Each structure stands twice: as C-alpha cells, then as structure tokens.
C-alpha cells in the first residue's frame, strides 16, 4: 500500500526530486540524498513494500538485477576499492525509510563503516554522478 507521506513513493510518483540513475518495470535507482560515500546509490521498489518480508520474490529479483547493473556502473566510473551492498529491515536493524531499498556504497580501505549520515550531498555532484552512472548502466 503506497503511503501519501512516504518519500520514496513520492519519488516514484515524480512528486519529489531524485538524481535518477535507472528505472525499469519494478525498480528505480537514484543517488542517496545523504550519501555516506561518493556514489552512494539506492535501489528502490516501484511498489510500496516496507521490507524484505512484504516485497514479492519477483520484485526482489528485479532489485537484484538492478543492483548488479548499478554495481557495474559504479565500478566502471568510480573504481572504488570495495563496494558495500546492504539492505536494512526494521528500525532495530537501522532502517530509516520504511519503503524497501537496497544501498550500494563505494568504499575505500580504512573508512569507518557508517550506514547513514545526516549530511546532505552536494546537489550538483549528485546530479553529475547520476548522469554519468546512467550512461554506464548496462541495459
Ligand atoms: Zn513508499
């Protein structure tokens, strides 16, 4: 059930802005507005499902396929030393937006292992990253 106030549903409906990287039938990929590291991207289900338990297998398979596309785009463009892919279910696990999403976070050796930050990314950098990644997402 889509929520009126859900920020990711608003992005899906085009009512909130996002630096979009990729869209298909079941998923969207866009830059995290609070990037923990440069290139931090989210893959979100098009339909509102709160977590891994509510999302259908079909949709989760689409999330995995999109995550792979974005992972390659991140590796091709930013060449990070590592790439963290993670997904949080429930406040106790650190979930802060209760609409299913997967994080792809480029990482460098020795960085602290943060999951979230409250520091917004530079909108121009996010837009430029999204544009570059969108060009490199394998179709
Ligand atoms: Zn939602």
CA of 116 to the centre of ligand 1 (A): 19
Expressed in angstroms and rounded, the spacing between residue 1 Cα and the centre of ligand 1 is 8
Asked whether residue 82 is domain-assigned, the answer is: yes
CATH number of the domain to which 72 belongs: 3.30.428.10
Q: Residue 101: inside a domain, yes or no? A: yes
How many distinct structural domains can be found in the chain? 1
Global pTM reads 0.94
**Residue 48 appears among annotated catalytic residues:** no
Banded model confidence at residue 115, pLDDT cuts 50, 70, 90: confident
- Predicted confidence band of residue 1 (pLDDT cuts 50, 70, 90): low
- Domain membership flag for residue 64: yes
Q: Which domain holds residue 110?
A: 7-134
Residue 73 lies in a domain: yes
Greater confidence (138 vs 127) lies with 127
**What's the gap in Å between 110 CA and the centre of ligand 1?**
34
Secondary structure (H, E, C), the chain:
CCCCCCHHHHHHCCCCCCCEEEECCCEEEEECCCCCCCCCEEEEECCCCCCCCCCCHHHHHHHHHHHHHHHHHHHHHHCCCEEEEECCCCHHHCCCCCCCEEEEEEECCCCCCCCCCCCCCCHHHHHHHHHHHHHHCCC
Query: For 65-103, how does the pLDDT look when each residue is reduced to its tens digit (9 = 90+)?
Result: 999 999 999 999 999 999 999 999 999 999 999 999 999
Q: Is position 109 within any domain?
A: yes
Residue 139 covered by a domain: no
Confidence grade of residue 108 (pLDDT, cut at 50, 70, 90): very high
Q: pLDDT tens, 8-50?
A: 999 999 999 999 999 999 999 999 999 999 999 999 999 999 9
* Residue 45 CA, ligand 1 centroid: distance in Å: 8
Q: Per the domain annotation, does 59 fall within a domain?
A: yes
Q: Which of 40, 48, 99, 101 is catalytic?
A: 101
Ligand 1 center to residue 91 CA distance, Å? 16
- Within-domain flag for 71: yes
């Amino acid at each position: 059930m889509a929520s009126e106030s859900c920020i990711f549903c608003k992005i899906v409906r085009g009512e909130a802005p996002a630096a979009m990287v990729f869209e298909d039938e079941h998923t969207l990929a866009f830059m995290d507005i609070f990037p923990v590291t440069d290139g931090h991207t989210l893959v979100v289900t098009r339909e509102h499902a709160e977590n891994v338990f509510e999302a259908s297998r079909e949709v989760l398979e689409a999330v995995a396929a999109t995550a792979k596309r974005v992972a390659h785009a991140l590796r091709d463009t930013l060449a990070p030393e590592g790439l963290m892919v993670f997904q949080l279910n429930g406040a106790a696990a650190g979930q802060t937006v209760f609409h299913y999403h997967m994080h792809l976070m480029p990482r460098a050796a020795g960085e602290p292992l943060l999951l979230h930050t409250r520091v917004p990314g530079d909108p121009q950098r996010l837009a430029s990253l999204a544009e570059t990644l969108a060009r490199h997402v394998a179709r």
